[in-house]
Structure 1
Amino acid sequence: MSTDEAEREFVEFVQRNLTSLYAAAFRVCGNRHLAEDLLQESLAKMWKGWLNKRNQEGAPLKGWAYRIIGNAAIDSHRKNKSRLTGKNQNPVSEVPWDDEKGGQIPGSSETSEEAIFRDTARELWAAVATLDQVQQTLIHLLYVEQLSLNAACRVAGLKWTTANRYHVDALARLREIIGDEE
């Protein structure tokens, strides 16, 4: 495969999956500016390994991309954590970008239903962040991208039984954290 052909395929992959990759980056860091930086760093890492990954038959590229985003988020968190000088200081990445305006984006007007939805979504994604990386990826694929379990298995590179076990365990853990209101 030539470099030009690989570059074209990489650009097509990124264009086709940019929204879901950004959503995954936002999900792991909870901040739009940090998500953009994280995605940019992850795309650079993906490009470095693109030729090797593309040459592997049946390689689940989207699952590989999610794994790179998750690993980059962990690296970024470790880097920020090591910069702390005192016990009670928080890195900038842990301060939500919109909390200065009481959880509301500046310049927007929010109804009470939107505020409830926003708070519920924040609580839900905070709970999802406590899951392990595979469970987080499956939750994202199944509920954000609305893939079937079979399709999510292919993307994540898992067998159906393994993915189903992770999914069931993730839902049970989320019910413990958030509470089951059924």
Structure 2
Amino acid sequence: MNEPPISDEKAYREFVEKNADLGYFYGYAMALCGNRHLAYDLLQITHMNIWRKKVWKIWEDKPDTPQTVYRAYVAMMLRNAHLDYAKAPSQKIKEVELTGIREDDFPDEYQMENEVIFKETAKIVWDAVSKLDPTLQDLIHLIYVEQYQLARAARCIGLADSTARRYHKEALRQLEKLLEGQEIEEGGDGR
């Protein structure tokens, strides 16, 4: 008996789960662009291209194709997305003209004061985070900005759970020192 054809959505999910692992390709995207926000954008573009081009159908009739071929193809798509992004004319700085702003479009004084305090505090904290080792920076970003559990953040940056726990503790210790105005020791990244 012939099996019914798999829906495109199910085939896409299976392909992505097996061959387009987020942690693996996040590392590659970070290496390409050096910016975590752009890395996520590139991953999203790549996954949209996988869906649009129905990449899983390329090898439908070749079930013995090794997984490395799929991963290489997805890596090529990711690299091409990065090159397209870098060449896009939209990446030129645009000047925005502010017209038609009414006085009542602005928040009240109390709200503005709280927003200023929040922004200043965030700037102080993220300035301190930027002084940490890049691995610790990524770990802090994934846990506190992306809201990842520690284990998931560890997988994304290629660390064992126990190592990630140690690095997280060390990052918090270093941040506390930096925020108190103390210097941190060189190489104090929990290693």
TM-score by length of 2: 0.41
Which fold has the larger relative contact order, with Cα–Cα distance below 8 Å and residues 6 or more apart in sequence? 1
TM-score by length of 1: 0.42
Which is higher, the Rg of structure 1 or of structure 2? 2
More helix, by proportion: 1
